[in-house]
Amino acid sequence: MALKIVKGSIDRIFDKNLQDLVRGIRNHKEDEAKYISTCIDEIKQELKQDNIAVKANAVCKLTYLQMLGYDVSWAAFNIVEVMSSSKFTYKRIGYLAASQCFHEGTDVIMLTTNQIRKDLSSPSQYDTGVALTGLSCFVTPDLARDLANDIMTLMSHTKPYIRKKAVLIMYKVFLKYPESLRPAFPRLKEKLEDPDPGVQSAAVNVICELARRNPKNYLSLAPLFFKLMTSSTNNWVLIKIIKLFGALTPLEPRLGKKLIEPLTNLIHSTSAMSLLYECVNTVIAVLISLSSGMPNHSASIQLCVQKLRILIEDSDQNLKYLGLLAMSKILKTHPKSVQSHKDLILQCLDDKDESIRLRALDLLYGMVSKKNLMEIVKKLMLHVDKAEGTTYRDELLTKIIDICSQSNYQYITNFEWYISILVELTRLEGTRHGHLIASQMLDVAIRVKAIRGFAVAQMATLLDNAHLLTGNAQRNGICEVLYAAAWICGEFSEHLEDPLHTLEAMLRPRVATLPGHIQAVYVQNAAKLFAAVLCGQEGAPADSQTAQETSQLLIDRLPLFVQSADLEVQERASCVLQLVKYIEKLQQKQVEVGEEVTALFTGELNPVAPKAQKKVPVPEGLDLDAWINEPPSESESEDEKPRAVFTEEEPRHSRQRHPEADEKELARRREARKQEQANNPFYIKASPTSQKGYQDAPGVDHIPVVQIDLSVPLKVPGMSTSDQYVKMEEERRQKNKADKKKKEKKKKREKRGRGRKGDSGPESEEEDITPAHMVDIVTEEMPENALPSDDDDKDPNDPYRALDIDLDKPLADTEKLPVRTHRPPEALKSPGDEGGGVSEEPKKKSKKEHREKERKERKKSKEDKKKKKHKRDRGEEPEEAPPEEPVQSEIIEVAAPPSTTSVEASDLDFWLSTAPAAPKTQEAEPAAAAPDSAPDAGPDVAPPMSNYSLLAENSYIKMMCDIQGNLQDGSQVVVSIIFENKSDSFLKSMEFNVLDSLNAKLQRPEGAGPHDGLTVPFQLPPGVSNEARFVFSVQSIIMPQKLKGTLTFIVKSEDSSTHEKLDFKLHFTCSSYLITTPCYSDAFAKLLESGELKGSSLRLEGVSMPFHHLLARICFHHHFSVVERIDSCASMYSRSIQGHHVCLLVKSADQTVSIDARCDETSLLGNVLDEIKLTFSQC
């Protein structure tokens, strides 16, 4: 044994350590692979030894090799060994190796569960930390499920170092094991208010990430985040929160309104570019979500655009890029504000950095108007000429086409100009986008009837000069335009001046060098031209000779195509050749054939909308998924590809009945169809995306792109340049304008008194531009009774979809994190009881209650804000409380489920509405609601409620107030007061003042004296209410106290204004210092065991309400949460703002309720108990 150790240690001296390995690799540059393979052999030897230090060293080296790209998966088990070393040095290396090398498929991960669990609960925080870090990289669904509970416990660890890590890793756990989200969420939310800023920021991170994917489930957290946003100074946290709001605002426009102000303030004040950029982005998102009819936000837009301009003008390329990027977002909704910066954006086109140029191009897309299109395109054409590098040039080309063709050629006023632009673009030799130009030519020629004559003439010239296009690079992408040219000339041959000449051009021997599909079109359209020649010349007997000559021409030239290697060409050529030969025979017999030949090609083809086929309704009784023949036998399909044994069921996609068998085939067919459509001029590629797909078609990709640098740009002779049109167009517009002005002058004289809009200048000018010719854009054909179809289904494979979970629902009985089963279940301490402590029946019920409540709320939001009566059908709830109960009306307001989340959810509406909803406050007064709702209201009819209670009232104003402790600052209490104007006059200059006591002081702004009042930051028009918050600093919270105060205000009616005042008494109860804090039973048990808490008790007689009502009432009025409930016995917990724990044990039997309470502060406890007593004595 000793010898073995000696040997191991001596080996160790000679072992290479990591540094040696690295050095070695650097010294063996020539035969690196060989050197490393010897190293790996050594490592294998080292791994066989028992000495853990040797192993760790080996694993460390392996980790390095893994990074160099070597496979080390064979050592996975050794890594686990090193991970489980008791020494931190080795453990650290083990976990590092694991986090670099393990992935979901690594099977030894299964073995690590217990080791990780052990490390997580290690007394050393660094052991725990290292395990958490490692886990974050290789967590699998199994690990997530098994360890979720352990990690959740760590979220409440005493050390912030661990809490922080545990919170962050929960996000990974949620992703892998979505079921854990709901049980863990309350604690995660709690961490938003953790005393440690690092933990807080971690929690913000996680919730923001969650909310970004599924924002709607997190709307109820908006007030909390709002508070964090206005109080936090940490830019990292701010950025996350602001990003989160960006995701929330589309769902709740009211939130957007609330955000604008703080965000613009931040934009003004911050010096951090990252924060500024985030704010601008979110403001943009907010403005997009708000309806366009919000003129008062133009200031915010202006601010954003200004700031972005500064970014773009910055010399830092990064800022420039981001500025352009953000600008393009504004462009979508507020194009006007961006258009005024056209100069700047055009300037960016000259930037050295290609990515910036591309961004600027994106922006141009949205900036064009009828007025500036020609000018912008002209600029771009200049850039095309200058551009070095085909990629950028191609990008320019596609952008030009995108810009011109957007929204159905909306901005093109002169199609002759556009056609000549397209023709000019054919000069680009190296481009890959011949297809794109071709499809544009076809599209325009087919859909704009007025332009056909011009287009045909241009195309004929193109065909005539085809040699310039094809050049020596015969497989050049640009020759695709010949496809379009040939087709256009053939189809609209009636516009040709000299069809015979064009026909001749199309049958030149050189054509045979073109790609097959183009030749095929040539042949087919040669036939059309032939028909046109015959028809045009027919009737004039002198021309029968021309006809015969034409036939002869075809008969001479076509054999070349008959020999083509391309099937399509061959077939068409043979057909046409035979046809012509037959015609020639007839011609020799002097038979008139013109009409008959033309008849072959009559009839116009109309364009078909891209999705037309999909929208054809399926006739009744036709099942497209049914097999027409017997399905192929099992064995056959198994031969083709292995079948998954367990196919995932997707009940929603009932149409994918036979997906495995068909999907490949379908994809293949789809591809084939796309290919076909791409080459079919009757398919319109409307969206730019489909065009892109089309460019990427495999047929084009492999074509080698030869770049030719031509010093002199090619000019196709005899062709008008687009510049001419720009000039012409300008002249035309000038003339039009002059005409218009004359007319307008007349009009103006008539209209002067009516007050025309001042700022509509450019707009109206734009509308004035009339197209050069009456353009009739043929719309795409749709089948009759086409069904509207959803274009973008959500991706079913989105990993974040599983996390779309409603978090406001109370936890159900079955929802708890799996806990190791071999641990003996203890009645109170087991963490497994967390969710399950409450017996099943009431839980179910509370769920029902909640659902009911939600329904109610929805209803409520639809209705107005006035007070309403509760009508409900009796039969709905069998468990309803008996009607003879004396305290019904009270119960209505207390029966909310005892969770903070739901209270907040119902408060969201309140928070968002600037004018508080009246019913809530009304219902807070028992007397008001009692008579209406008492008879059959059960626990389920809890309306959204709030804690607001009447503070003071006179004939002018009513004040309702709610007092709550501030969790973040133990000495602060926030008093929210709703001021409601009851009079018919305007209330202004409201001043709120309180006589401070030694213990509680109103926080006044700096510089204000101790007796100065605070100005209420708003005025109240008649009938309006609004809320203001006041912060009090409190020293001791163990005693309740009352503060006297006065509100002074000016009542301003039409003729007079009077000074009025209203006295009030603010009552700070001890309960208002308590904050609802969820507590888990294990922590609760520990608290009680610790022995630091002092006890007290209370007995209430004659309480006849059901037990759960009683609990709800304590929760609601005194801010407790239920820890656990068993039959008619429950434990409850709350915490004061200064961190006192208050624990209650509530038992109920025969109308008697006994409360045993414990707290680390006796007088606080006594006061709370008194308050509880008071609450129940009021019943």
Partner 1 sequence: MQFMLLFSRQGKLRLQKWYVPLSDKEKKKITRELVQTVLARKPKMCSFLEWRDLKIVYKRYASLYFCCAIENQDNELITLEIIHRYVELLDKYFGSVCELDIIFNFEKAYFILDEFLLGGEAQETSKKNVLKAIEQADLLQEEAETPRSVLEEIGLT
- For 929-984, the DSSP string reads HHHHHTTT--GGG-------EEEEE-SSEEEEEEEEE-TT-TTEEEEEEEEEE-SS
Please name the helix (run of DSSP H) or strand (run of DSSP E) that holds residue 455, with its range, or none: helix 452-464
Q: Considering the complex, what minimum distance in angstroms separates the CB of residue 224 from partner 1?
A: 20
Residues 8-47 that bind partner 1 (CB under 8 A): 9, 12-13, 18-19, 22
* Nearest residue (CB) to partner 1, 164 versus 850: 164
Q: Mark residues 982-1021: x for contact with partner 1 by CB under 8 A, - for none.
A: ----------------------------------------
* Nearest residue (CB) to partner 1, 9 versus 578: 9
d(CA 534, CA 526): 12
Among 274, 552, 588, 1035, binds partner 1 (CB under 8 A): 274
Contact by Cβ (8 Å): 929, 968: no
- The neighbour count for residue 804, using CB atoms within 10 Å, is 15
Of the candidates 36, 101, 50, 111, the residue with the CA atom closest to the CA atom of residue 80: 111
Q: Considering the complex, what minimum distance in angstroms separates the CB of residue 273 from partner 1?
A: 5
Among 27, 355, 588, 955, binds partner 1 (CB under 8 A): 355
Say which residues have a Cβ less than 8 Å from residue 698's Cβ, sequence separation at least 6. Answer: none
The site that binds partner 1 (CB under 8 A) totals a number of residues, namely: 71
Contact by Cβ (8 Å): 1132, 1123: yes
Among 356, 547, 678, 1115, binds partner 1 (CB under 8 A): 356
Q: Considering the complex, what minimum distance in angstroms separates the CB of residue 330 from partner 1?
A: 16
What is the residue whose two structure tokens read 């209209």? 751
* Nearest residue (CB) to partner 1, 389 versus 1102: 389
Residues in the chain: 1179
* Nearest residue (CB) to partner 1, 171 versus 1030: 171
Q: Considering the complex, what minimum distance in angstroms separates the CB of residue 503 from partner 1?
A: 48
Q: Considering the complex, what minimum distance in angstroms separates the CB of residue 352 from partner 1?
A: 6
114 binds partner 1 (CB under 8 A): no
- Specify the 3-state DSSP secondary structure of 432: coil
Q: Considering the complex, what minimum distance in angstroms separates the CB of residue 92 from partner 1?
A: 7
Question: Which phi and psi (to 5°) does residue 358 adopt?
Answer: -65, -40
Residue 1128 DSSP code: T
Among 46, 55, 92, 280, binds partner 1 (CB under 8 A): 92
Residues 606-645 that bind partner 1 (CB under 8 A): none
* Nearest residue (CB) to partner 1, 18 versus 108: 18
- Specify the 3-state DSSP secondary structure of 626: coil
Residues 185-244 that bind partner 1 (CB under 8 A): 198, 201-202, 205-206, 209, 212, 234, 236, 239, 243
Burial of 416 (0-12, 13-18, 19+ CB in 10 A): buried
Q: Considering the complex, what minimum distance in angstroms separates the CB of residue 291 from partner 1?
A: 23
* Nearest residue (CB) to partner 1, 328 versus 1077: 328
Q: How far is CA 215 from the centre of its chain?
A: 9
Say which residues have a Cβ less than 8 Å from residue 37's Cβ, sequence separation at least 6. Answer: none
* Nearest residue (CB) to partner 1, 156 versus 721: 156
Tell me the C-alpha to C-alpha distance, in Å, between residue 677 and each of 37, 190, 784. Answer: 54, 57, 21
Torsion of CA 719, 722, 724, 729, to 10 degrees: 140
Among 183, 246, 897, 1078, binds partner 1 (CB under 8 A): 246
d(CA 1100, CA 641): 74
* Nearest residue (CB) to partner 1, 93 versus 377: 93
What is the residue whose two structure tokens read 């309403």? 868
Q: Considering the complex, what minimum distance in angstroms separates the CB of residue 409 from partner 1?
A: 28
Amino acid at 862: K
- Specify the 3-state DSSP secondary structure of 691: helix
Q: At what angle do helices 499-506 and 516-537 cross, to 10 degrees?
A: 150
Amino acid at 412: I
Among 49, 136, 971, 1046, binds partner 1 (CB under 8 A): 136
Among 52, 108, 111, 137, binds partner 1 (CB under 8 A): 137
∠ CA 518-523-526, nearest 5°, is 120
* Nearest residue (CB) to partner 1, 93 versus 441: 93
* Nearest residue (CB) to partner 1, 250 versus 1040: 250
What is the residue whose two structure tokens read 């256009």? 488
Q: Considering the complex, what minimum distance in angstroms separates the CB of residue 284 from partner 1?
A: 12
Question: Which phi and psi (to 5°) does residue 1100 adopt?
Answer: -115, 130
* Nearest residue (CB) to partner 1, 61 versus 685: 61
Among 27, 34, 67, 864, binds partner 1 (CB under 8 A): 67
Amino acid at 1043: L
> Which one of 90-98, 397-405, 668-676, 927-935 is the stretch in contact with partner 1 (CB under 8 A)?
90-98
Residues 1040-1069 that bind partner 1 (CB under 8 A): none
d(CA 1153, CA 1155): 7
Helical H segments across 752-797, by residue range = 761-768
Q: Considering the complex, what minimum distance in angstroms separates the CB of residue 24 from partner 1?
A: 12
* Nearest residue (CB) to partner 1, 73 versus 339: 73
Among 71, 650, 696, 1063, binds partner 1 (CB under 8 A): 71
* Nearest residue (CB) to partner 1, 234 versus 1041: 234
Joined tokens for residue 74: 């064979």
* Nearest residue (CB) to partner 1, 173 versus 1038: 173
Residues 310-349 that bind partner 1 (CB under 8 A): 317-318, 320-322
d(CA 206, CA 114): 26
> Which one of 93-101, 187-195, 563-571, 1109-1117 is the stretch in contact with partner 1 (CB under 8 A)?
93-101
Contact by Cβ (8 Å): 484, 528: no
273 binds partner 1 (CB under 8 A): yes
Please name the helix (run of DSSP H) or strand (run of DSSP E) that holds residue 1046, with its range, or none: strand 1041-1052
- Left, alpha or beta for 59 (phi > 0: left; psi -120 to 50: alpha)? alpha
Q: Considering the complex, what minimum distance in angstroms separates the CB of residue 164 from partner 1?
A: 6
Among 55, 117, 165, 370, binds partner 1 (CB under 8 A): 165
Question: What count of Cα atoms within 13 Å lies in the side-chain half-sphere of residue 883?
Answer: 8
* Nearest residue (CB) to partner 1, 11 versus 991: 11
Among 39, 46, 150, 171, binds partner 1 (CB under 8 A): 171
Joined tokens for residue 1168: 């709370």
352 binds partner 1 (CB under 8 A): yes
> Which one of 97-105, 108-116, 488-496, 621-629 is the stretch in contact with partner 1 (CB under 8 A)?
97-105
Q: Considering the complex, what minimum distance in angstroms separates the CB of residue 101 from partner 1?
A: 9
Q: At what angle do helices 499-506 and 452-464 cross, to 10 degrees?
A: 40
* Nearest residue (CB) to partner 1, 32 versus 190: 32
Q: Considering the complex, what minimum distance in angstroms separates the CB of residue 416 from partner 1?
A: 37
Q: Considering the complex, what minimum distance in angstroms separates the CB of residue 22 from partner 1?
A: 6
> Which one of 64-72, 434-442, 594-602, 1011-1019 is the stretch in contact with partner 1 (CB under 8 A)?
64-72
Say which residues have a Cβ less than 8 Å from residue 439's Cβ, sequence separation at least 6. Answer: 484, 678, 681, 685, 691, 694
